[in-house]
Amino acid sequence: MGKLTGKVAIVTGSSRGVGKGIALSLAEQGATVYVTGRTVKEGSAPLPGTVGGTAEECNERGGKGIAVAVDLADDDAIAALFDQVKREQGRLDILVNNAIYLPDDLTAPESFWQKPLENWQMFDIGLRAAFICAWHAAQIMVPQKSGLIIGISGFVGVTYTYGPVFGSTKAGLDRMARDMAIELKDYNVASVSLWQGFTFTERAMENLKNVPEMAEQLKAAAGSSPEFPGRVVAALAGDADIMAKSGGTFINAELAAEYGITDTDGTQVPSNRAARGSPIWVPVAEMEGG
């Protein structure tokens, strides 16, 4: 029996990539994981992975995977997801806001005014939808007086990466996690933001093959598997003193060192703090001096 047996989680954008890695890591610890995303049929998206496929792997890991097709641009679809979780489980313990829209030209060298306005969807999915999911999660977590809301962010929140919309979305996710923590504190519901470094996702591997500039830039960069952030999320979800961290923005590699976590191959993932920047927001408990 894993340390998260009996816990219920929602992970957005978990057909593939970091979201899939998080879902699998939570399931490995016994959690029931609602795997959400838009891809339900293999081959319908440019990259491999479906919500059903991830859910099946969650079952194989020892937890329970429940696949739900959700378009985060549809507020009614988000509401239906949380209604389903409340109806089927009666509780929600973990929400991981991982999803973001990534346009095909994200890594292209053109400036923001040379790219289409539709790229604003990064903000709509990565921040607006994250807020809506957190709003619905709070409706369940506050009455039960327990829960954890996590935003998957990155160094892009303070360091220029791929343009102003991408950076603004992640910076907003960090700030939103901190301010939600202030309002959730009295209800024993934690809210944190996590900075993940370069991750060898399906999309990243394609970019490394097809974007020469990226391959050159990342030759010396230390990356991690998609399951590494999931291991950190699982450790946070199992931390009895999680409220001491609520409101903070944390670097996954540093939390991994604190919790004694390694990547799937046993390596310790280094922090990129010195090269890429430091988080702004500290836990609410530290902000208040206790």
Digit-coded pLDDT (tens) for 241-262: 999 999 999 999 999 999 999 9
Residue 108 is predicted with a pLDDT of: 86
Domain ranges of the chain: 8-287
pLDDT in the model for residue 212? 56
Q: What is the pLDDT of residue 203?
A: 59
Residue 214 has what pLDDT? Answer: 52
Backbone φ and ψ for 280, nearest 5 degrees, come out as -90, -40
The pTM score is 0.92
Least confident among 81-90, 241-250, 254-263, 268-277: 268-277
State residue 121's pLDDT score: 96
Q: Does the domain at residues 8-287 carry the CATH identifier 3.30.2390.10?
A: no
Say what the pLDDT of residue 218 is. 47
Residue of 69 and 221 predicted with greater confidence: 69
Mean residue pLDDT across the chain: 90
Question: CA 248, CA 103: separation in Å to the nearest integer?
Answer: 29
User: CB-hemisphere CA count at 13 Å for 186?
Assistant: 1
d(CA 168, CA 13): 19
Q: List, for residues 205-223, the tens digit of each pLDDT value.
A: 555 555 555 545 544 456 7
DSSP string covering the chain: --TTTT-EEEESS-SSHHHHHHHHHHHHTT-EEEEEES--STTSSSSS--HHHHHHHHHHTTSEEEEEE--TT-HHHHHHHHHHHHHHHS---EEEE------TTTTSSS-GGGS-GGGGHHHIIIIIHHHHHHHHHHHHHHHHT-EEEEEEE-GGGTS--S-HHHHHHHHHHHHHHHHHHHHHGGGTEEEEEEE---B--HHHHHHHHH-HHHHHHTTT---B-THHHHHHHHHHHT-TTGGGTTT-EEEHHHHHHHHT---TTSPPPPP-HHHH----PPPHHHHTT-
- What's the pLDDT score for residue 290? 44
**Which residues have a Cβ under 8 Å from the Cβ of 22 and sit 6 or more positions away?**
11, 14, 96, 98, 152, 227, 229, 230, 233
How much is the average pLDDT of 88-107?
Answer: 94
Band (199; pLDDT cuts 50, 70, 90)? confident
- pLDDT at 204 exceeding the cut of 80: no
